[in-house]
Amino acid sequence: MDHLPFDRVEEIANFLPRKDVGTIARVAARSPGLENWSVVSDDQLERRVLLEVCVHLQGFKHKENEEEKSPRIRISVQKLLSDGSREEWDFKNWRYAWIHTLYITASPREEPLDTVAPKRAFKESDVRQAMSLVSLPVDPSVRTRLSIATECAGEGELPDKLVDLFWDTVEETQKGFVDVSATGDDVDVALESFVAYCIEQGAFLEELSYYNSLEGDEGHAVVYNAVASLFGETRGRPLYVYLEGLVLDFDYIEIVIDDWLLSDGIYEMKTVEGANHMFGEEQHEKWEDMLSAIGDNEIRVVKFEPWHVPVDLKWIDALIKNWREGCGFYVWRGEGNFSFRLKKNRYWKKLVEEHGPAVERKEQLVLSIAHPKSPIFLEVRKSETQFEIGVKHEFYTKNKMKKFISDWKKGNRDTLLNGLTKIEVQMDCERFPLPQKHSHPLVNACLKISKRVYRHVLETVAVRMSIVPIDPKNVEDWNLELLFGSLQV
């Protein structure tokens, strides 16, 4: 590397991601023989810019006996600043320009819809400038995004010249985007081929959304098969695919399961979300720590947990016992809620006899089990098709919380409840500002109150109260007599 001329070093650095340039800068700064690399990398780090590029192609309806008019090209290019704001790019120093976000839209409208591109001030451009913009390098380490969309605006099929220019523009883009969105309002099989290519060849792809007005499952077969193949291989990064409006029927699900069962069983976060509603599970034949779960409208790979297969009464009893002996915040290893199935239906009757009674609530039978110390209940809910188990927090009103804080600040308590130093309750967080900290007047401790979100079927917000030591750096006025006693001799 140390023998390369300056121009060659500069050419190489122009195409390296910022993370790699930073590594080179640190190494070159300690190596006298890498002076060219040091100068070039420092220059790139100082002057490189990330751009938001919008290219809108406006087509014109073909009139009979007249040649079809060439599409109008309009662009908006903004530079992303370090403080998160944006400013218009001056189109200078192209070699320092990298794409962060790219929108390519085609429509009979003068401007794209707000649903497919941000509202920006567009200006006239030409093919040469547009192609130069969309072909700028992409740095996947900064979570780059590509969004392409066609919209007919109620005028039937898009003009041929507009469609051709749209796909010529898309083909000029780099393939290192992390987030890709593809929307088609025109019946165009090229869109599904593009999406399939992104899935199969997108080494950095982590999130993809796809919508096409093609009717029937056959029109989307290429996308279905490309997504299914991902469940049979290891990618090295997570992937979420949203197929808007498409039904994940049983034939497609069988293809996914077959590919997944042939995989090596290495766990990776993979999810494909569609539009229909069904439920089922399939355990991997090779590895018991993985599971391909088919949920309400999605297929995803998750780490295997004991409740992914039918459980017996002994397992449920052990779960309840462990929950009562712990703090009560979680049902199992960080999970606040999950669904399960019993091996035998009669186990429910035995659970009710031991921990009941069960009450009817919203078409469910609910069995509530109180925690011996913490203000939390464990609820076992039975519906027609499945069981759920989850934590339920006691509700604190605003006045009750104020009284609790007042007692603490007066020194009337040095623990929370039943000797606990950490509890969770439910509150209306919109009416009670969080987070808060309140010092104790007599001991070196403060009451920390913060919001915590349980993410499962429905999002539940809990308020956690915990007693933590006071950080000496945050104390402005020490009570020396409390710490050391009287200082009089």
Helix (H, G, I), strand (E, B) or coil at 289: coil
Residue 435 preceded by cis peptide, ω within 30: yes
Average pLDDT, the chain: 82
Q: What angle do CA 12, 104, 168 make, to 5 degrees?
A: 75
Taking only the tens place, the pLDDT of each residue in 204-224 is 899 999 887 666 555 578 888
Q: How far is CA 206 from the centre of its chain?
A: 9
- Greatest Cα pair distance, the chain, in angstroms, is 110
Question: Where does the pLDDT of residue 21 fall: very low under 50, low under 70, confident under 90, or very high at 90 and above?
Answer: confident
Please give the residue that has the higher pLDDT: either 256 or 293. 256
pLDDT digits (tens, 9 = 90+) for 369-417: 999 999 999 999 998 877 889 999 999 988 999 999 999 999 888 888 8
Paired strand residues for 49: 97
Residue 279, pLDDT score: 44
Q: How many CA atoms lie within 13 A of 71 on its CB side?
A: 31
Q: Are 390 and 402 within 8 A, CB to CB?
A: no
Burial 67-80 (b: 16+ CB within 10 A, else e): eeeebebbbbbbbb
C-beta of residue 215 within 8 angstroms of C-beta of residue 244: no
User: In the chain, helix, strand, coil percent, each to 5?
Assistant: 30, 30, 40
pLDDT digits (tens, 9 = 90+) for 67-82: 888 899 999 999 998 8
CA of 429: how far to CAs of 296, 329, 402, 422, 424, in Å? 29, 18, 13, 19, 13
H runs (alpha helix) in 241-382: 250-261, 313-325, 346-355
Q: What is the pLDDT of residue 456?
A: 47
Q: Which residues pair with 291 in a beta bridge?
A: 283, 302
User: How confident is the model over 350-372, as pLDDT tens digits?
Assistant: 999 998 899 998 888 999 999 99
Helices (H), 65-220: 127-134, 160-171, 189-201
Mean pLDDT over residues 102-115, rounded? 88
Banded pLDDT at 52 (limits 50, 70, 90): very high
**pLDDT for residue 215:** 61
Query: Taking the model in full, what pTM does it have?
Result: 0.69
Mean pLDDT of 185-210: 83
- Answer whether residue 142 shows pLDDT above 80: yes
Percentage of the chain beyond pLDDT 70 is 87
**Quick one: pLDDT band at residue 184, thresholds 50, 70, 90?**
confident
Residues 6 or more apart from 2 whose CB is under 8 A from it?
31, 33, 34, 37
pLDDT for 443 equals 84
| First-last CA distance in the chain | 72
Tell me the pLDDT band of 128, cut-offs 50, 70 and 90. Answer: very high
What is the per-residue pLDDT across 227-276, written as a single tens digit (0 to 9) for each?
888 888 888 889 999 988 777 777 778 888 888 888 887 788 888 888 75
Amino acid at 269: M
Question: What Rg do the C-alpha atoms of the chain give, in angstroms?
Answer: 30
pLDDT of residue 296: 60
